[in-house]
Amino acid sequence: MVEPVSATKPASLSSDLAVLDFQHVSLRYQSSGQPMQVIEEVDFQVQKSEFISIVGPSGCGKTSLLRMISGLNPVELGRVCFHGEPITKPLRNVGIAFQNPVLLPWRNTIENVLLPLEIVPAHKRKLKTERSHYIAAAQELLATVGLKDFPHHYPWQLSGGMRQRASLCRALIHQPEILLLDEPFAALDAFTREEMWEMVQRLWERSQCTSVLVTHDLREAIFLSDTVYVMGPRPSKIVYTLKVDLPRPRTLDMCFTEGFPQMYTELRQHIQRK
């Protein structure tokens, strides 16, 4: 069981060896028989327990970068390294949450949360003999996101926000080293979305997993991240990097303090300028 940790920025951010290292990464597609450059020479690093966001215009390749991290998309030009080794196949210690939570309709909440344990080899072997331990871990995660009373509800009995919370618990149940978030709150209303920011912050403080968020919401990126990377239009590069110097844990009231709107304006200006 993962123990709660101090709500301060992790000391491990100063580690010399990055968990993730993008080295001269480019991406090309064939369009009408002609090569189309989507990403061009992207370089950045993500340290252990760091939370980063990638923002930019639609079609600039943000989700493609996530898929490269997961190993689902091969890196043809450049390298994406995990602990110094190039990623050449799907990583096992990754949790992923998408805009659509895609819960299995025939499984209740806790059964959906436990699903990765039936797939990840290290946990699959223990699931039968240590099932009570894993159920307790799932119940603890559900309590953290406000779903303590809904373990036996089916997806159709849950609101959109509740389904997304269950999806995040599913992404974290196997204690992944990396959490990938691909616009997980885009379909939610503004009030629910802000609640989810606070919930993700709690989960991140609890697990300290290295996290990468793709989003179009600049306030979301600032609220959650240590670092925000702005990508330009195709062919996309990192055109601006923002270090978010806000204390943790963060509150929604911080969105109205002097520093927050200034960072929002900086991000917006760099996206518009390009």
Residue 55 Cα to chain centre, angstroms: 13
For range 124-131, the mean pLDDT? 82
Which amino acid is present at 184?
P
Burial class (CB in 10 A: 0-12, 13-18, 19+), 121: exposed
Query: What would the pLDDT profile of 216-237 be if each residue is shown by its tens digit?
Result: 999 999 999 999 999 998 889 9
CA-nearest of 212, 223, 215 to 188 is 215
Residue 17 to residues 14, 223, 244, 270, Cα–Cα distance (Å): 9, 26, 21, 29
Confidence at residue 16, expressed as pLDDT on a 0 to 100 scale: 60
- As a residue count, the chain comes to 274
Model-level pTM greater than 0.85?
Answer: yes
- Confidence at 257, pLDDT banded by 50, 70, 90: confident
Tokens of 256: 């109205």
For range 140-165, the mean pLDDT? 94
Euclidean distance between CA atoms 154 and 108, whole angstroms: 4
Sole residue written with tokens 């599913």: 170
Handedness of CA 160, 95, 180, 6 (dihedral sign): positive
Confidence at residue 15, expressed as pLDDT on a 0 to 100 scale: 43
For range 137-153, the mean pLDDT? 94
